[in-house]
A and B are shown apart, each in its own frame.
Chain A
Amino acid sequence: MRSTILLLIALSFAAQGQDGSEARAILGQCLGCHNSKTAMSGLSLDSKEGILKGGKHGPAVAAGGSSLLLDVVRHTGDIKMPPGGKLKDAQIAVLEKWVADGMPMAAKAVAAPVHWSFKPPRKAPLPAGTHPVDHFIQAKLKENGLAMSKPADRRTLLRRLRFDLTGLPPTPSEIAAFLADTRPDAYEREVDRLLSSPHYGERWGRHWLDQARYADSNGYSIDAPREIWKFRDWVINAFNDDMPFDQFTLEQFAGDQLPKPTNEQLIATGFHRNTPINFEGGIDFEQYRVDHVVDRVATTGSVYLGLTLGCARCHDHKFDPLPQKEFYQFFSFFNNVDEAVEEKDRADVQKPVLELGTPAEIRKKNVIKAQLKALQVELNAYRKEVEPKQAAWEEKLTEADIKKFKFSVQAALGLHVGRRNDEQAALVFETFANTDEGWRERRATMRAVEKLSPKIVTSLIMKDLPQPRQAYIHQGGDFLRKGENVSAGTPSILPPLGNQGPATRVDLARWLTSKENPLTARVTVNRMWMRYFGRGIVETEDDFGRQGSLPTHPELLDWLAVEFMEKGWSQKAMHRLIVTSAAYRQASAADNRLALEKDPRNLLLSRQNRIRLEGEIIRDAGLVASGLFASKVGGPSVYPPIPSGVMNSGQNAREWVTSTGPDRYRRGMYTFIWRATPHPLMALFDGPDASAACTRRNRSNSPLQALTLLNDESVKEFADALATRALGEKDPLGYAFELTMSRPPSAAERDRLRRFVAGQKEEAGGSDKAAYAGLARVLLNLDEFMTRE
């Protein structure tokens, strides 16, 4: 809207004093898409010639005077423009008169204005000795008669920094050490220490995994488990190694196409294999393969370019100059993966998969696989001999017999034969067949052989077909309606791909992170900024197109984007830069009346923002406070306690065998992610559903969150441990408070909590343990506990 107004102003200036200037000013808002360069639907409105020639729907104004253009703006036909909403009647009247007057307009087309985000970023000059972030933030504040808040106190600052860089709160001894460090660069030292902590990779890796739509299951109907945690670990390691973002991109997009790729580089390509996979009965596999490819385009668009490429799947983009054809050119990059396409691929539905064993292990596994296959054939033949006896066996079963079976077998036996689902039918047959000696022996042999198979970790990866698939335009977004053939390419509004020979995913990755690409660096630093301040410099962090919001601090955004590239795409360098600014280190209390009046949403950052922690981090903070925390980084996903019943809400009740030992107390990011039955802590605290890239999480605040933190088994376990820990100290109340809030309680808080503990103790028959467990529950439920201030 704002850009439209600017455009209108600019155009009316340009046309001042000429005939038809008013009409052309109105048409100005159409030129973003309908200019002679982009010409969406083949139509350009920037010259009389273009209007008369028209686009694919015919002339915009015909020689005879009939006018598609007017029909379209009047909303009288099928096509209705502009997409943002109908013009005012007065504006339509101006256009009507202008058409009737023979469309007076300058012969030469006015060049279409370039949208801000498509122009390359430039660094504005910076006065010597100033922190770049503070320079730009302060300038805007000053312009508005505002100033930054005082710095946050050191405890708050340490807690903030720890949560932001590692996602873990400081322990009392870490706080004491930081407070005792009076060196002038104590804070910078802490920043460096945290950036080299392995937990940094977990914290920032998880942000990336949101965008990668990472999950441990296939989603859709069956929601079978998949093995791709190696990709999750690859991301953590890449962050910890500060792998330059261009390399990070290259390996994820095209690790498989690099010369002699390492296993790690192949694992990295799991990024675009995190799409859900459907394999319920009776599907057309090709349809879902196409969906995967579409998802890869949309994900790349929102994660890297801040463009809603997905909107151009069915038709030309309504707001940005992205024709549908260019969508399918982009689609072509990801279209050649050797994925399941037909019914016979069902057994290998997750392909391509990397097997991570030594060559000998893989050979052995294959040999055993072949043996098992042969044994299975023999078993199937034997089954035909046994099967006819099943009905008789079932009939003879007494109730006492049935009671001896597992509950699931009993349930299946209770059902009419035709009513049992496949799983239940198999269960009953297996129970029956085990009464036959020949069957038992064969099964035992198979199990023994199976056991010999080496346990090899696998991971979903990208691997192209030897012969690429021909991409084509899907008319109306329907893959069955074939349009024009296309080959791989990038949107024409952006700099050229620069490929030599047929375009590959390597070219795409290099193009995404080329210095000429105006979007990737901006979009990436903007999201970093969002994690630190709760909101991006561009608030619509996934839309840098015309419908997106404008940057609050355009010069700052550009400065950071250029700096990111100049620093060799080092993310750690950017983190260091941002967190060492005074803007970041301000207090977050909203206590400045003037600022609240002038800038109620704190867009200008006259203070820091309080930000509620993510579901995983709330869990992690509870683990650290209670002392239960198991700090292991990486490895297969784990199963902390889950409320009973959660796993029954999908088609298949998936097993959840609660982890024991340290795995019960791992960071939230390692909890096994079932797409159909997500862990309630994650679902309720706005965890992504992993159906598509999540570039920004909501921060909701709901009664169900309250119920979870009040009553969940895990939280109670944390509370009990926290109480035991605190009771060993001189000042249990103060210690428990510091463990959870990283600060001592105020006098008023201490007073209130002391009364609370007394009340709990009385109610719990004098038990200190119960009373302090109650205190711990209160602390783990406080807003401040789950907030980084």
Chain B
Amino acid sequence: MTDQELTRRHFFERCGVGVGKTALATMLAGDALAKQPHFPAKAKSVIYLFMAGGPSQFEMWTPKPQLQKLHGQAVPDSFLEGKRFAFMDTFTKEKPKLLATKREFKQYGQTGSWGSNLVPHTAAIADDLTFLHTVSTENFNHAPAKCFANTGFTRFGRPSMGAWVTYGLGTESKDLPGFVVLQSGPRGPRGGAPLWGSGFLPTTEQGVLFRGSGDPILNLSTPKGVTPRMQNQVIDAIRDVNAMRHETTADPEISTRIAAYEMAYRMQTSGPELIDFQKESKETLAMYGVEPGKPSFAANCLLARRLVERGVRYIQLWHTDWDHHDDLTKPLEDVCRQIDQPCAALIKDLKALGLLDTTLVIWGGEFGRTPMGEIRDGKTGRNHHIDAYTMWMAGGGTKPGVHFGQTDDFGFNAVEDHISMHDIQATVLNQLGLDHTKLTYQFQGRNFRLTDVSGKVITKILA
């Protein structure tokens, strides 16, 4: 690379002038679309299935005989000392009591993994999954905890994991964004756009929200009354007149702009093709449980697989309404039914297509739920629990069939193999070939990173 190219590269990468990866490639001859990782990567793509609201590990993955036995008894003080929970004021009214689960559990597969009757499909493929039972986080409220899980900080405004990943690796897709966000459930996640924002990284790294119906991307369709041919002419004219201005000003930003318009045009074609499930077989649709034309978590899982096939680097699915404070019956059953079969289908599908090895799938919420019950208006659910909860991963170089992390008899705390969200983040980056301590960006005089000042790669779960 010549000095001038180096300078230009410095300019683009260090000085906050974001640039489309295509354009960077166009301008820096011989540069690939994708950037080089720090070391050989196991995974090429990530699919993060974010269960917004905090799913209950006790109803899904971790039966606790002691909880069943001591149901209704007050929680021993030693477990509550120094702990902070959401809705603390309710504790002062009445001492919280241990809550047994009403779900039936069974052991599955070679590994004998536990799974409840709420998640039969996912439990059936437990041998392909890596369970993490001792994950902990730093904040017990939804928005800050989501922020922490996604950006490594509880305050909004830092880059999200997807933004860090595309910043570090670029994307392999020529006509789709590197970081795609999909939503399902009755509402958007608490916190909104900053959860997939780019923070101080170039804005081009921010997650692009695809929508479940209509255009997958905002403003993807040409305006009414404009034919494809007319649009074609518009794009061509923009390119030509921009090129003329480039001759006069010699500003490389204009080349970038020309490249950006080329990619925009390609997206107008690739976007509709992406969401068109017609070429998917009936069996595939049935396996996921996709009902054509109906937005759902299932449809988003299938879309995620299609995005991975097209080289998209980081895909995040948000499924909302896991916040079961006062009802672990039908509301929980509904949301489990919505996600269970599609999750299992996604893993099976990726595996059958030979994509699971290079795709890291992550499942989990911003926190889990308490071993004790929370009573609201006579109904019982569980409160937010941040000290130990369950997530799972699959593929992308993780070791299948592992159950990592032990909690105490009530599931309050980790007794061994404590995991923090920063460890999860460090591990995700590691699988992508990125050293979380080296993936930094200088902002306000400090080198910031996704994992702030902590984070350890969870090597024991890696193949």
Contacts and interface: CB of A to CB of B under 8 A. Distances in A.
Interface of A: 219-223, 276, 278, 280-284, 291, 295, 302, 308, 310-311, 318-320, 343, 416, 418-419, 421, 480, 539-540, 542-543, 545-548, 588-591, 596-597, 600-601, 610, 612, 643-646, 648-653, 675-678, 680, 683-686, 689, 691-692, 696, 698-708, 710-713, 716, 746, 748-749, 752-753, 756, 759-760, 763-764, 770, 774, 777-778, 781-784, 787, 789
B20 interface: yes
B358 interface: no
Interface in B237-255: 237-238, 240-242, 244-245, 248-251, 253-254
B234 A774 contact: yes
B8 A600 contact: yes
Contacts of A774: 226, 230, 233-234
A753 B327 contact: no
Interface string B360-372: 0000000000000
Nearest to A543: B445
Residue in A540, A650, A678, A752 with the greatest tally of chain B CB atoms within 10 Å: A650
A1 to B, nearest CB: 12
Given A418-B330, A589-B249, A778-B237, 13 more contacts: A308-B446, A319-B445, A589-B248, A610-B253, A686-B203, A699-B16, A701-B23, A702-B18, A705-B260, A706-B260, A781-B261, A782-B242, A782-B245
B98 to A, nearest CB: 20
B242 A783 contact: yes
A531 B229 CA distance: 40
A222 B197 CA distance: 18
A547 B446 contact: yes
B222 A753 contact: no
Contacts of A601: 7, 11
13 contacts: A282-B87, A542-B445, A545-B445, A590-B249, A600-B4, A650-B193, A703-B20, A710-B264, A711-B219, A749-B244, A752-B237, A763-B230, A782-B245
A308 B447 CA distance: 12
B286 interface: no
Contact of A291 (B23, B155, B203): B155
A278 B250 contact: no
B241 to A, nearest CB: 6
Interface stretch (B102-110, B111-119, B138-146, B344-352): B138-146
Nearest to A539: B15
A749 B263 CA distance: 23
B157 interface: yes
Contacts of A696: 16
A276 B143 CA distance: 12
Given A281-B87, A707-B217, A783-B253, A308 B445 contact: yes
B193 A589 contact: no
Interface string B183-226: 10011111111100100001110101101001001111111011
Nearest to A301: B444
A710 B156 contact: no
Contacts of A282: 85-88, 140-141, 383-384
A543 B20 contact: no
A649 B218 contact: no
A706 to B, nearest CB: 4
4 A-B pairs with the lowest CB-CB distances in the bound complex, closest first? A676-B192, A282-B86, A700-B18, A650-B192
Given A698-B202, A778-B234, A783 B209 contact: no
B217 A276 contact: no
Given A645-B214, A707-B218, A781-B238, A221 B143 contact: yes
Contacts of A278: 141, 143-144
B242 to A, nearest CB: 5
B17 interface: yes
B157 A691 contact: yes
Contacts of A421: 186-187
Residue in B202, B203, B444 with the greatest tally of chain A CB atoms within 10 Å: B444
A305 to B, nearest CB: 12
B190 A701 contact: no
Contacts of A680: 218-219
Contacts of B84: 284, 480
A643 B218 contact: yes
Contacts of A291: 155
Nearest to A713: B223
Contacts of B177: 703-704
Contact of B251 (A545, A548, A590, A678): A590
Contact of B187 (A308, A543, A652, A691): A652
Contacts of B76: none
Contacts of A281: 86-87
Contacts of B16: 696, 698-699
A343 B89 CA distance: 8
B326 interface: yes
B334 interface: yes
B219 A708 contact: yes
A178 B221 CA distance: 41
B157 A692 contact: yes
Interface string B379-399: 100011000000000000000
Given A696-B16, A749-B241, A783-B257, A711 B330 contact: no
B190 A310 contact: no
Contacts of B249: 588-590, 610, 789
Contacts of B17: 698-701
Interface string B306-345: 0000000000000010000011011100100000000000
Nearest to A678: B193
Contact of B244 (A223, A318, A746): A746
A280 B190 contact: yes
A607 to B, nearest CB: 10
B413 interface: no
Interface in B120-144: 140-144
A538 to B, nearest CB: 12
Contacts of B229: 763
A547 B8 CA distance: 22
Residue in A418, A749, A770 with the greatest tally of chain B CB atoms within 10 Å: A418
